[in-house]
Amino acid sequence: MAAEAKQTCYEGSSVQSFQFYLEHSGEHKAILQCVHSILPGEFKRIGDGKSGLDVLGVGSGEGQLDVQMLSLLQSTFPAVPVTADIVEGSSELTDNFKALVAKTASLQKIPFAWHIMISEDYEKQMKAKGDMKRFDFIHMIQMLYYADNLAETIKFYHSLLKNNGRLMIVIETANSGWDTLWKTYKKELCVDAITEYRSSAE
């Protein structure tokens, strides 16, 4: 009998709670400011001379940030084909992401590959296949809290980069809203999914 897949804490009522936090914290707004100030220049370097661009999102949630980044990449290289692989452990969040893609006209030409699993399972699956897909841009936004082995997780995803590729990691700053929330209510928050919370202080 196969081992039961590890679940995320983002299903059912937890999704509504997470959405409420995002709507009231300004977290995505802050990340988007960073995206629009830093990524245009990085994308130009990443895509220089490329005939195609492959993107991997790890822990993409409902995809609000992915949609922004993919649209930005497309606008930077409008004639270059783009593919997107998405690794997300929550089927509910993935369904919401798919719905967002369906109503975003600029993304209709991008083929998406959906991997509904946690990052460790994706790593195991890719290593078992042997022929691992490489990417020009990999982003891991607010997901390293769920990694059982931080160093090995970063090492694996870094190994998936193509020549001149970029790995973008975003975590909470110390004493931020999420940092305070987690340290105050850690017994109630995702205790089965997060074994060790990490902010930039750690």
Is the pLDDT at 63 greater than 70? The verdict is yes
pLDDT of residue 200: 45
Domain extents for the chain?
Answer: 50-170
Residue 83: exposure state from Cβ atoms within 10 A (0-12, 13-18, ≥19): middle
CA separation for the pair 102, 78 (Å, rounded): 19
Tell which CATH architecture fits domain 50-170: 3-Layer(aba) Sandwich (3.40)
Token readout for 197 is 């919370």
Look up residue 10 and give its two tokens.
């983002």
Query: Among candidates 192, 181, 199, 202, which has minimal Cα distance to 89?
Result: 192
pLDDT tens column, 140-197: 987 887 788 889 999 999 999 999 999 999 876 555 555 566 566 555 555 555 455 4
The total number of residues shown for the chain amounts to 202
Identify the pLDDT of residue 26.
Answer: 55
Region 95-113 average pLDDT? 96
